[in-house]
Structure 1
Amino acid sequence: MPKHRQWEGLAEITEKYGDIVMLRILDQRIVIFGGGGTVLEHLEKTSATTSGRAQSPSFKMSGMTEAFGFMEYGQAWRLRRRLFWQYFNSNAIRKYQEVQREHIHKLAKSLLESTSASPNTSAMSAALLEIVYGLQAREGDETIKVVDIGMQGVRELLLSGTFLVDILPFLQYAPSFKPFRRTFERWRRDLRRMMVLPFERYMAEDPRPECVATDMISGAQRLVKVNMCVYQDLQYHTYISAQTASTLLVFFLAMSLYPEVQMRAQAELDAVVGQNRLPDFSDRPNLPYVNAIVKEVYRWLPVSPLGLPHFTTEDEEMGGYFIPKGTILVSNIWACLRDSEAYENPEEFLPERWIKDGKIDPDVRDSERYLFGFGRRICPGRHFADAAVFVGVGVLLHVFKFCPPLDADGKEIKIKPRLADIFVS
């Protein structure tokens, strides 16, 4: 198993041996899917038996198995999925547009006023905090800081094969004073705090604000179970906000490296939106090139290049191979979206690949089908995230010019477009 930027090393393996490759680490089988058609064929059509999550020792020791996105496939997960979908399906998210709009405008204002070299993209975390719990995030808000701290451990945990305890499970019973045990305990504590603090703040509000949490609790009969769902699910909301923020950073980079793309998009915005207002959700059908930029951002540097691994809960047959129960299934999303047979010049950022006759070409392999997961484990917050990315890209393109950074002598710094070696990259 490659140790760094695993998506690149695994792409070389599947290119050499085929779109389905099985690795074995001691007794654990890991199947790598390296082709776009292969992923959809096997994770969509066999989702009843491939929607599990491996409950590794590192996940258990850190408390990750309590979080919705990483729970075992079963009744508890289905309850959370049903509740989440009720409030974040494609129709329900429309009532959150005002909050999303407000926080994108705040992000634009903070970029205008900031003197930092690193843009602050916590607007998505603040928007989700307000939507789910009705809490207004203030400058230096403790809840946002707690979320950031909690996500540090999550990012490291999600890099497969990082921890020796997953290879040698008996190490989980090592004495508590061992350094790796203390690390896992700190991550468990940080993750728990990240999930509980917003719920505690919400419960302390009098009167309770109008928000998803209020709707969920007032509309349910088993309050204890629903309360657990509300605060445990913050981890998944946080994952969505981290993906959205990272996607906007990819957009910033692409615009600085491809000024001709930026200029064409701004010309479209000038023609459709004009100079007297900012782009809005209702403009989306009339902005095909901006939509093409969003799709190309998803494709060019997918911010979750390996997604979340699936786990077979029953024996399966895939591509003529026998895949036993208990096999980890890894989808190389990065490789699927760099397939030269589906995308000409895949290394280049080319929104034009998505356009045909002035509209989005439905025959191009849709990057959204890969970025947000597969089968029954597809991200239930994908509509919210996609809407936020679109309006963010539209607003920021309409008011800013993106350029490469400059060194102390005023010369351009060449940025190599490459994903960082972390899970949400």
Structure 2
Amino acid sequence: MEGVRILIFYVAVPSLLFSALRQLLSWRKRNTDSIKSIPGPQQFPIIGRVHDLNRFCMWKKFKEWADIYGPIYRTSMLGQHFIIISDEKIAEELLVKRGHIYSGRPQIRALFDHKTGPGYVALMDRHDIWTRQRKWVHAAMAEFHRHHFFGVIESEVKRYLAILLLDPEKFHANTREHCGRIMSRLAWDDASIGKENADSADCTLTQMSVSGPIVNTMTPLWAIPWAFNPWKKFERAREDQQRSWWLHSFHNAKQKFLRGDLPSGTWANRYFTGLQKQGNLTLDQSHQDEEFASCMLGFQNLVGVVTISGPLQFFLMAMMLHPEWQEKAQAEIDRVCGNRMPTTADIPDMPTVRACLKETLRWRSGVPLGVPHQAEEDDEFRGEKILKGTIILACEWSMNRVVEKYPDPENFHPERYLEQGWPTYQEPLSQYPNFRDGVGMHTFGWGRRTCLGQHIVMNEMFVSGAGVLWAFNLKRKMCPKTGRAIEFDSEATNAHVILEPLPFPCDFQPRSPERTAQVLSGYAEDRAQHQE
């Protein structure tokens, strides 16, 4: 093993030295330019400011720099230029109004060919494959939202509540699987692969995160020859397994469709129905077309896990840590629903629950760095050139802590959306607050790169979160020795580009024997109906 490490070192050194020389020459040239109008921390040759950044909580350093250098500043890391934004108007100016320039995606070193597709539409450059997949997903999401996702969310929440009742200690893993089951049913009509879906989503997120493989920050290491490159070997195996699984699920769904057994409330059914409307009655396709479709449905399936599991767990945390808001939300749920579980139809009637959900996404940003954009051509802003290839980060963590808009930003205040006098208050309360529009809706990205899943995130988080509060009281876990509440770090996360909190203790106490019976009977009825 020691010999292999030495060999890797010697293979990597020439690449590192070449990169250093190139960046030194580039740095000398840049220093002959005019004074920059966009401020930023002092840059050091070659490394920029990479030494300042903790890759497990990079957003906190960016917030610290924003407090010093203002709402837009520049920095660099190992030769890569960055523009960091913590102001919504500036982000809108660059990422929305100039979206034709700033809608590229940077290369994630630990992934193969993601910019060309067809694997991950959210990570592709803008080209024909991206356009075709995004157009189809947009239409599918809109159609399924009109049909309240065909009752799949409510069905799976019944199971989720029963699992929380029977096995509360594993609520972190079960929450992730719950999200995986919903998306797998919607994609392929196969909830049984929900855990596999959730695990695949987590592994994919690890690969694309700064906190993941070291090659995502020390990019020259990726150039190590295949025989000595553990990162390439791991990624090749991971991606091949994921593509194979997606294609297998696609083929299974196709056979069910041809037999007439695939429910209409699945994205696969919608896709196959579209093929038949075009005259392809037997659904015969080339391998390339099948790969295109299986990746489109597979990634839509996968991304719905990672965008919901973390925020939902943070919501449970917020309700446990703020019992006064838990009680207010439960009072609203009881008033509207009585003895039945909440559904998507109740969303307009529960502004308090919606406020708690939205404040959760502000208080503990699910995507604290934002998903990076990349300049597709040279541009100029405030008199300074922004070069093609510059990465633009609209830093969600910083935006959510602008005091003028979010007074007392470090603390949990759902009333900021419910009471007049707060900068974020909007009417009517039957519509606001929500995840889709209105004040503070930058959680889902910007411009041509806005996430297409806003409706399902809102519906799934609402029914899941309100369902838990309908069934349970969330309490702090008590230490059996001291009798005091067990302390934990509410900001401790997996540090992925989309966050989940690290496991924290929580006690799920059924609100009454009657609710316990309703949870169990509701799940039994749903299971019998779907023959699970």
Whether these two folds match at TM > 0.5 is yes
* Whole-Å separation in 1 of the counterparts to 2:189 and 2:293: 13
> Offset of 1:199 from its aligned partner?
1.8
* Aligned mate of 1:374, from 430, 437, 446: 446
Q: Say whether the 8 Å CA contact 2:104–2:126 is kept in structure 1.
A: yes
Give the match's secondary structure for 1:102.
Answer: helix
Give the structure 2 partner of residue 163 of structure 1. Answer: 214
* 2:217 is equivalent to residue 217 of structure 1: no
**Alpha-carbon distance change, 393 to 347 in structure 1, aligned in 2, over 3 angstroms:** same
Evaluate the alpha carbon distance shift between residue 128 and residue 115 of structure 1 in structure 2; reply closer, same or farther with a 3 A threshold. Answer: closer
Asked whether the equivalents of residues 306 and 331 of structure 1 are also in contact (C-alpha less than 8 Å), the reply is yes
Q: How many angstroms apart in 1 are the aligned matches of 2:314 and 2:439?
A: 15
Q: How far apart in 1 are the matches of 2:304 and 2:65? A: 30
Q: Which residue matches 1:16?
A: 68
Q: What per-residue deviation string (whole Å, max 9, x for no partner) do you get for residues 381-424 of structure 1?
A: 11111111112222111111011122343431123320412222
Mapped pair 1:74 → 2:127 = yes
2:152 aligned with 1:99: yes
1:259 corresponds, among 319, 323, 347, to 323
Greater mean deviation of Cα atoms: 38-47 or 144-153? 144-153
Partner of 1:123: 178
Partner of 1:200: 251
The answer to which structure, 1 or 2, has the higher relative contact order (CA under 8 A, 6+ apart) is 1
Post-superposition offset of 1:167: 4.8
Q: Distance in 1 between matches of 2:112 and 2:490?
A: 35
Q: Is residue 343 of structure 1 aligned with residue 406 of structure 2?
A: yes
| 62 and 312 in structure 1: CA distance in 2 versus 1, 3 angstrom threshold | closer
- Residue 419 of structure 2: which of 356, 364, 384 is its match? 356
The structure-2 alpha-carbon separation of the partners of 1:146 and 1:357, relative to structure 1 and needing over 3 Å to count, comes to closer
Instruction: Write out aligned runs for 1:56-71 (5 A).
Output: 56-60=108-112, 65=117, 66-71=119-124
For residues 221 and 60 of structure 2, the distance between their equivalents in structure 1, rounded to whole angstroms, comes to 31
Give 1:297-308 correspondences, 5 Å limit.
297-308=360-371
- The gaps in structure 2 that reach 5 residues or longer are 1-49, 428-432, 500-532
* Equivalent residue in structure 2 for 1:114, among 144, 154, 167: 167
Secondary structure in structure 2 of the residue aligned to 1:59: coil
1:184 equivalent in alignment to 2:242: no
Matched residue SS, 2:133: helix
**What's the CA shift string for 1:306-334, capped at 9, x where partnerless?**
12211111222334432111111112111
Deviation at 1:204, TM superposition (A): 4.2
| Cα drift, residue 38 of structure 1 | 2.2
Instruction: Write the letter of the residue equivalent to 1:52.
Output: G
Equivalent residue number for residue 306 of structure 2: 242
CA gap of 1:97–1:204, structure 2 versus 1, over 3 A, is: closer
- Cα separation, 1, equivalents of 2:243 and 2:345: 38
CA shift, 1:97, in A, is: 4.2
Deviation at residue 166 of structure 1 after TM alignment: 6.0
Amino acid at match of 1:201: N
Deviations 1:166-212, CA, capped at 9 Å, x for gaps: 65447435133432332332332343245334223323434450321
SS at match of 1:371: coil
Equivalent-residue separation in structure 1 for 2:210 and 2:262 (angstroms): 37
2:73 touches 2:83 (CA, 8 Å); kept in 1? Answer: yes
% same residue = 24
- Report the Cα distance in structure 2 between the residues aligned to 1:91 and 1:14, rounded to whole angstroms: 40
Other structure's SS at 2:95 match:
helix
CA contact (8 A) 1:150 1:187 kept: no
1:129 Cα shift?
Answer: 1.0
- State whether structure 2 residue 352 is matched by structure 1 residue 289: yes
User: Displacement, 1:350?
Assistant: 1.0
SS at match of 2:84: strand
The equivalent position to 2:104 in structure 1, one of 52, 57, 62, is 52
Deviations 1:38-62 (A, max 9, x none): 2223211111111111134422278
Structure ID, larger Rg: 2
1:414 aligns with 487
Distance in 1 separating the partners of 2:129 and 2:317: 40
Q: Does structure 1 retain, via aligned residues, the 8 Å contact 2:212–2:496?
A: no
1:403 paired residue number: 475
Q: Is the 8 A contact 1:151 1:191 kept in 2?
A: no
| Compared CA separation, residues 115 and 357, structure 1 to 2 (3 A) | closer
Alignment partners' CA distance in 2, 1:298 and 1:146: 23
Measure, in 2, the Cα distance between the counterparts of 1:194 and 1:209.
Answer: 18
Which range moved further: 103-112 or 76-85? 103-112
8 A contact 1:217–1:227 mirrored in 2: no
- Give 2:82's aligned residue: 30
Partners of 1:75 and 1:89 in 2: CA distance: 21
Amino acid at match of 2:183: L
2:456 to 348, 367, 384: 384
One-letter amino acid matched to 1:125 = G
The change in CA–CA distance for 1:78 and 1:35 in structure 2 (over 3 A counts) is same
2:244 & 2:272 partners in 1: Cα distance?
A: 21
Work out the CA distance in 1 between the residues paired with 2:345 and 2:201.
35
- Name the structure 1 match of 2:15: none
In the alignment, does 2:114 pair up with 1:40? no
Instruction: Compute the displacement of 1:159 (Å).
Output: 2.0
For the structure 1 residues 261 and 166, does the alpha-carbon distance in structure 2 shift closer, same or farther, using more than 3 Å as the test? closer
Q: Give the distance between the partners of 1:90 and 1:209, measured in 2 at CA.
A: 17
Match of 1:424 in 2: 498
Partner of 1:315: 378
Cα RMSD between the aligned structures? 2.8
- Report Cα offsets for 1:366-389 as digits up to 9, x if no partner: 576221111111011111111111
Task: Between 332-341 and 59-68, report the one with greater CA deviation.
Answer: 59-68
Residue 134 of structure 1: aligned partner: 189
Contact 1:61 1:172 in 2 (8 A): no
Closer/same/farther in 2, CA of residues 252 and 361 from structure 1, 3 Å limit = same
Separation in 2, partners of 1:307, 1:58? 19
**SS state at 2:68 partner:** helix
How far apart, CA to CA, are the structure 2 residues paired with 1:53 and 1:348? 33
Under a length normalisation based on structure 1, what TM-score does the superposition of the two structures give? 0.89
Please tell me whether the aligned partners of residues 337 and 367 of structure 1 are also in contact (alpha carbons under 8 angstroms).
no
Q: Per the alignment, in what secondary structure is the counterpart of residue 313 of structure 1?
A: coil
